[in-house]
Amino acid sequence: MKRVLITGGAGMIGSNLTKKLVSLGNEVFIVDNLWRGRLDYLNDNNGNPIIDLNNNFFNRDLSVSHSCDDLIEKVDYIVHLADVVAGIDYVFNNQGSLFRQNILINSNVIDSVRNYGKHIKGFIYAGTACSFPLTRQNTIDPEPLREEELYPALPESAYGWSKLMGQYETDLLGAETGIPVCNLMFHNVYGSPCDFGERSQVIPALIRKSINYPNEPFIVWGSGSQGRAFIHVDDVVNGIVLALEKGLGEGVIQLGPSVCTSIKEIAETVVDISGKDIKIEFDVTKPEGDKARSADYSKAKRVLGWEPKVSLKDGLMRQFNWIKKEIESEKPIGN
């Protein structure tokens, strides 16, 4: 049995990871300020919490120094997922505050591990493909990204820079303390449970619009030609579990497919799943972000024995059904 602390454990990735680790017989502790996560994400199919919320869940702001010092002593492994992220509108309109918050969150967590975690058997940091250089993501049909291309660094956004600095500080933690670390770099993760409100990322936003149509227009930001390597949350969770066993001390490992899917194709698939006659509108005055990216996941396959398994169509159908159920239950959007 592992005792694992998951920062950001009430979010989409964290809640699914918690359920997986608990099902494997591990004890999970969670710290989350519930900015995007929700406590009901941690419920089983019968609505019962899968962890002891009184003793294993901690609502704390990790941007505050020493906020998780005492939690480090309770566990053997740490999966650091917590960060500030949202859709492209939020990311590019709040770059300064987002960068600062993520730097504080990462540095505070790592400092707590450095000071109180000499016993820690493994530290996994969740990075992002947004940290790769803009020069490798500024054409529509780029070659799949490789881990060794991170430097010279030139992320497009403050979010990408903040996550890259977290990777660097994670490497310093490993070098200084001897704690085995692993930097996992996620491509565009989708799935449920998720935020599908105004701060949501592209897939849940498009699904929400399709469900609400025609009361909400189906507008796609940008030309739709921009593309991403979309990876289902189940595949990401499997990658994290494998990294706890095989990835510690192995450096940077990407989790993402080798296929780049355009936002236009995502929009068309969502419309098809909805069964509605929806007119797709493209707003080219809105930001698109990086042009396109995909992953060379050969290192993940070699080191972890990992490769993506959930098809995009199946994953989108699952997320569509979850969001539709949430909207029909009349819960406030995005809460």
User: Looking at residue 320, what is its pLDDT?
Assistant: 98
Residue 154 domain flag: yes
Give 138-141's long-range contacts (Cβ < 8 A, gap of 24+). 138/290, 138/291, 139/291, 139/292, 140/225, 140/226, 140/227, 140/291, 140/292, 141/260, 141/292
CATH number at residue 123: 3.40.50.720
User: Looking at residue 13, what is its pLDDT?
Assistant: 98
- Which residue do the tokens 């975690």 mark? 117
Residue 221 domain flag: no
Contact 125, 183 (CB under 8 A): yes
Residue 71 domain flag: yes
User: Looking at residue 333, what is its pLDDT?
Assistant: 46
What interhelical angle do 202-212 and 263-274 show, nearest 10? 30
Smallest CA-to-CA distance from 315 within 277, 259, 276 is with 259
140, two tokens: 């529509």
Instruction: Give the torsion sign (CA, 75, 11, 317, 160).
Output: negative
Residue 334 domain flag: no
Q: How far apart are CA 47 and CA 27, in angstroms?
A: 19
Contact 188, 231 (CB under 8 A): yes
- Which residue do the tokens 């949501």 mark? 200
* Three-state secondary structure string covering 121-153: CEEEEEEEHHHCCHHHCCCCCCCCECHHHCCCC
User: Looking at residue 331, what is its pLDDT?
Assistant: 55
Q: How far apart are CA 228 and CA 219, in angstroms?
A: 18
Per-residue pLDDT tens digits for 182-209:
999 999 999 999 999 888 889 999 999 9
Q: How far apart are CA 257 and CA 230, in angstroms?
A: 7
User: Looking at residue 197, what is its pLDDT?
Assistant: 86
User: Looking at residue 6, what is its pLDDT?
Assistant: 98
Residue 203 domain flag: no
User: Looking at residue 137, what is its pLDDT?
Assistant: 87
Q: Domain total for the chain? A: 1
Contact 7, 62 (CB under 8 A): yes
Q: How far apart are CA 226 and CA 79, in angstroms?
A: 31
User: Looking at residue 92, what is its pLDDT?
Assistant: 86
Residue 182 domain flag: yes
Residue 144 domain flag: yes
Residue 263 domain flag: no
For the entire predicted model, the pTM comes to 0.94
Smallest CA-to-CA distance from 104 within 68, 70, 153, 77 is with 68
User: Looking at residue 286, what is its pLDDT?
Assistant: 87
User: For residue 182, what are the β-bridge partners?
Assistant: 124, 251
Range of the domain at 90: 3-191+229-258+294-308
Q: pLDDT (tens digit, 0 to 9) for every residue of the chain, 335 residues total?
A: 999 999 999 999 999 999 999 999 999 999 999 998 999 999 999 999 999 999 999 999 999 999 999 999 999 999 999 999 887 888 888 999 999 999 999 999 999 999 999 999 999 999 999 999 999 988 888 899 999 999 999 999 999 999 999 999 999 999 999 999 999 999 999 999 999 988 888 999 999 999 999 999 999 999 999 999 999 999 999 999 999 999 999 999 999 999 999 999 999 999 999 999 999 999 999 888 888 999 999 999 999 999 999 999 999 999 999 999 999 987 554 44
